[in-house]
Structure 1
Amino acid sequence: MAALISLYHFLLLTLFPTLGRAGTDACKVARCGHKGAPIRFPFRLDFHQPEHCGYPGFTLTCNTNHQTVLQLPSSVNLLVKKIDYKLQTIHLQDPNSCLPKQLPNLNLSNSPFAFTGYGDYLGNFSLFNCPPPERSLGDYYSVPCLSVGGYQVYAIASFGSIFADLVSCVKIGGISSVPYDLLRGFDNQQRLYLNWSEPSCEVCEAQGKMCGFKNDTSRVTVATPCVSIPKTTKGASQKLIHVVVLALGAIFLALAGVALYYAYAAHRKQSEDQKRIDKFLEDYTALKPTRYSFADIKKITNQFQNKLGEGSYGTVFKGKLSSEVFVAVKVLNDSTGNGEEFTNEVGTMARIHHVNVVRLVGFCADGTRRALVYEFLSNDSLEKFIFSENQNSNTLGWEKLQDIALGIAKGIEYLHQGCDRRILHFDIKPHNILLDHNFNPKVADFGLAKLCSKEQSMVSMTAARGTMGYIAPEVFSRNFGNVSHKSDVYSFGMMLLEMVGGRKNTDATVQNTSQAYFPEWVYNRLCEGEELGIKTEEEEHGQIAKRLTVVGLWCIQWYPMGRPSMKTVVQMLEGKGDTLSMPPNPFDSMKPARALNNELPIISEAE
């Protein structure tokens, strides 16, 4: 297509030399309204001046308000306020007095214009929509014309730092390759200054004349000869011009027909690429949690009509963002502590993007009313499926149970190693494992989570946290060691044994008292070479049950240093065959507490 346009320009310059002075006379100065900027070469006013009166890419139009308009690539339309032909600059303004709204679409790479008067540095900026800040944000550039509803939009340079207190901000777009100094003028400057270097008419303009197309087309197309700036159209041969223009149009259309197939193929590929980019940007935006008002929450939940469940921290309702997107909204109790669970959940989950971790879609912090908006998972929690009335019946199937165990392990490993800071969950249990429509597991409920550096091994705690039956021994007593990521490994191991046994690890309803504590009972059977006493229909299922049990027993070692990391747990679950060795007996309470490495630094809890 570029070659086609070049050929069109060649024919234009080949046919127009015969016009001579008549062509120049036809190019009288034009305006949009009596106050509009004078329009002459290299510019031309469309529908008023012939095509030879202007240089390609310099066409201007008049809008319905008699204002001069320049259309730049990507359909960016700006008003022309002034044209300085001697300095070869043009002053532009947004029709709606909000230039930043146009800048994300502005691309000068395919236009004859370039930025001028802002310095040489071009930068990239991100636009964030933020609530009113509690302190001055001097490193950010405010964009008032984009700010609505009490919120403030800031432009942040790609190399700039982001304050921690802007966690509630939402990215709404970006601006690429614009002068760094241009962003400083958003508050008090609404004009854009561009210049052009080709055609170069400084010599003619210095003589009070203008340049135009040369008669000798074997040379440069513009710059000389210099002619007087025409005031009228006396003697202009309009008929000849129209004939030539029509002939050129016919030739251009014929060439365009020959290239139609190639143009269509290129457009189709470009369209597919754009769709792929749009999908990426949509997904990227979706990864950032949105802040909702409490009125939004009521609308999303249809006035809290569909209740999914209730716990000590709040009530969960089913909601709908659109006809196809459903969410689960947890409305926190007003009396829930000092908001620590809420800040933990939002601050932690904003960092997390993993297939086996539930996604936080948004949140509400409207006075004392707080809510968390998650993706909706149709199959509820793992607890619903493993604690069935028939303890010998596995409703999920052993292959699926193994896939679920592996998915949970990968999710916890991501929390420990995949983020910029290590995330300790401290409440791993079946109730906090949600299942999607394909029974893929997702770790949920980060109200008790803590952040710590990945370089340090332990975390100090002022009080035990978690759910009885899943809390690691060191969380209760430091005689067993310091609290670390190995505490989550213990909770995972207890849950894994519950998945195998199909019941709580401590079950007072079991008739045989030796089976009341399932982990110890199953460990003794494995040591004695006996079957697990779990109903499996195939030998392969029995091997899965044994593998899950052995991994669980490794994870519940009383001392943290005896437990594997979650990375090792994933490798153990992915292993094939019967290659796992039996762990030491975790229930031998007569052994004295083994001393751990007390030289390791204890880090403070991350707020």
Structure 2
Amino acid sequence: MTSSFKDKLGEGGYGTVFRGSLQDGCAVAVKLLKVSKGNGEEFLNEAISICRTSHINIVGLLGFFLEAAKRALVYEYMANGSLEKYIYTENSDLVIGWDKLQQIALGLARGLEYLHQGCSTRIIHFDIKPQNILLGQDFCPKIADFGLAKLCHLKAGSILSVAEARGTIGFIAPEVFSIGFGVGSTNSDVYSYGMMLLEMVGGMINKGKGNTESSSDVYFPNRIYDSIAEQVQSCEVICDLKKAMRKMALVGLWCIQTNPENRPSMSKVIDMLEKRINELEMPPKPFLSCTSIPSYLSSHTSYGYRSSYCSASPALLP
């Protein structure tokens, strides 16, 4: 199917993805999983989770391979790769506009709403980030990589017991790595989605500027918050470009509220993204600080900030 794994598309923590084709010529992406510990929980999670889904914003699983320790998943092929390369790239050929980014954000919100509310078994992804968002030929976004997903029955509610931190540093909800902030739930995906929105905003703003800040005391969400607050106080008239940017930033800030109960559901997120900018309320300011984070988190470097749990704040948005 892959012509002896000739065409490598990418590699992540859980495996390597190769381009392949079925006998009818249909292009596919084959994810060859690394040898996993224990009984292959990641493989079972991914196969079971995706098999339970059918949504335009969820990547389609076409089949799987299981032979002893060798495991592979066969997905529909996504021609434009991951969202990551479009928000961090310096290549002008890969630049997409704010209108397209808003459509991507809205599609992803609909996909997450489906996972949280539309499936017979609720699915919490636990690893929403740009690298796990794939774009089709027409830039239709699809959520992928369900290796860390958790399933729970709708009757049992959306709260899960999480034995260990799961996700990617910088996008993990605080309650996932510390029970002091609450418990893992669908709200944890909302937090990760919000951080991803802010990452999209930061990546687009910083194109051509490089990483303008790398200090561990810089908390990018606070910089966005301060800039928006300043615009509101000065009643600044903003152009359509800034409106699109500001809407995504405001929704992202609502999603990353420290208390899980203060975050909107994905249904509410969709509603906010479809509203006009002047209909959105200003969220409370995030209050997590560097002094409260575990030392192992301080090594993360993302676009314009080092960890999602550090505070500080000169304005960045224009």
TM normalised by structure 1 equals 0.44
Kept in 1: contact 2:21–2:27 (CA 8 A):
yes
Report what 1:497 is aligned to: 198
Higher helix share: 2
Query: 1:439 aligned to 2:139?
Result: yes
Report what 2:68 is aligned to: 367
Query: 1:579 aligned to 2:260?
Result: no
1:587 Cα deviation (Å)? 2.1
Give 3-state SS (helix, strand or coil) of 1:452's partner: strand
1:331 Cα deviation (Å)? 0.8
Give the Cα–Cα distance (whole angstroms) in 2 for the partners of residues 504 and 465 of structure 1: 29
Report what 1:344 is aligned to: 45
Give 3-state SS (helix, strand or coil) of 2:151's partner: strand
* CA deviations over 1:51-110 (Å, ceiling 9, x no partner): xxxxxxxxxxxxxxxxxxxxxxxxxxxxxxxxxxxxxxxxxxxxxxxxxxxxxxxxxxxx
- The one-letter amino acid of 1:471's match is I
After superposition, the Cα gap between the structure-2 partners of 1:510 and 1:322, relative to the gap in structure 1 and judged at 3 Å, is same
- The one-letter amino acid of 1:573's match is L
- The one-letter amino acid of 1:461's match is V
Matches within 5 A, 1:157-556: 300-389=1-90, 395-455=95-155, 456-502=157-203, 509-511=211-213, 516-529=218-231, 539-556=239-256
Report what 1:220 is aligned to: none
Report what 2:309 is aligned to: none
Give the Cα–Cα distance (whole angstroms) in 1 for the partners of residues 255 and 93 of structure 2: 25
Kept in 1: contact 2:115–2:123 (CA 8 A):
yes
Give the Cα–Cα distance (whole angstroms) in 1 for the partners of residues 272 and 198 of structure 2: 15
- The one-letter amino acid of 1:529's match is Q
After superposition, the Cα gap between the structure-2 partners of 1:395 and 1:480, relative to the gap in structure 1 and judged at 3 Å, is same
Give the Cα–Cα distance (whole angstroms) in 2 for the partners of residues 546 and 559 of structure 1: 23
* CA deviations over 1:91-139 (Å, ceiling 9, x no partner): xxxxxxxxxxxxxxxxxxxxxxxxxxxxxxxxxxxxxxxxxxxxxxxxx
* Number of residue pairs matched by the alignment: 284
* CA deviations over 1:180-227 (Å, ceiling 9, x no partner): xxxxxxxxxxxxxxxxxxxxxxxxxxxxxxxxxxxxxxxxxxxxxxxx
1:588 Cα deviation (Å)? 5.6
Kept in 2: contact 1:510–1:516 (CA 8 A):
no
Higher normalized contact order (CA 8 Å, seq sep 6+, divided by chain length): 2
Matches within 5 A, 1:13-162: none
After superposition, the Cα gap between the structure-2 partners of 1:488 and 1:335, relative to the gap in structure 1 and judged at 3 Å, is closer
Kept in 2: contact 1:514–1:521 (CA 8 A):
no
Give 3-state SS (helix, strand or coil) of 1:567's partner: helix
After superposition, the Cα gap between the structure-2 partners of 1:308 and 1:514, relative to the gap in structure 1 and judged at 3 Å, is closer
Choose which of 262, 267, 270 in structure 2 pairs with 1:567: 267
1:461 Cα deviation (Å)? 1.1
Kept in 1: contact 2:221–2:286 (CA 8 A):
no
- Give me the identity figure in percent: 54
Kept in 2: contact 1:515–1:521 (CA 8 A):
no
1:393 Cα deviation (Å)? 11
* CA deviations over 1:282-334 (Å, ceiling 9, x no partner): xxxxxxxxxxxxxxxxxx11111111112222111100013541000011122
After superposition, the Cα gap between the structure-2 partners of 1:470 and 1:588, relative to the gap in structure 1 and judged at 3 Å, is closer
Give the Cα–Cα distance (whole angstroms) in 1 for the partners of residues 145 and 205 of structure 2: 20
- The one-letter amino acid of 2:115's match is L
1:525 Cα deviation (Å)? 1.3
Unpaired segments of 5 or more residues in structure 1?
1-299, 532-537, 593-607
Give 3-state SS (helix, strand or coil) of 1:543's partner: helix
Kept in 1: contact 2:8–2:19 (CA 8 A):
yes
Give 3-state SS (helix, strand or coil) of 1:346's partner: helix
Give 3-state SS (helix, strand or coil) of 1:345's partner: helix
Give the Cα–Cα distance (whole angstroms) in 2 for the partners of residues 336 and 569 of structure 1: 37
Report what 1:147 is aligned to: none
After superposition, the Cα gap between the structure-2 partners of 1:508 and 1:471, relative to the gap in structure 1 and judged at 3 Å, is farther
1:389 Cα deviation (Å)? 3.2
Kept in 2: contact 1:405–1:496 (CA 8 A):
yes
Kept in 1: contact 2:64–2:72 (CA 8 A):
yes
CA RMSD of aligned residues (A): 2.7
1:477 Cα deviation (Å)? 1.2
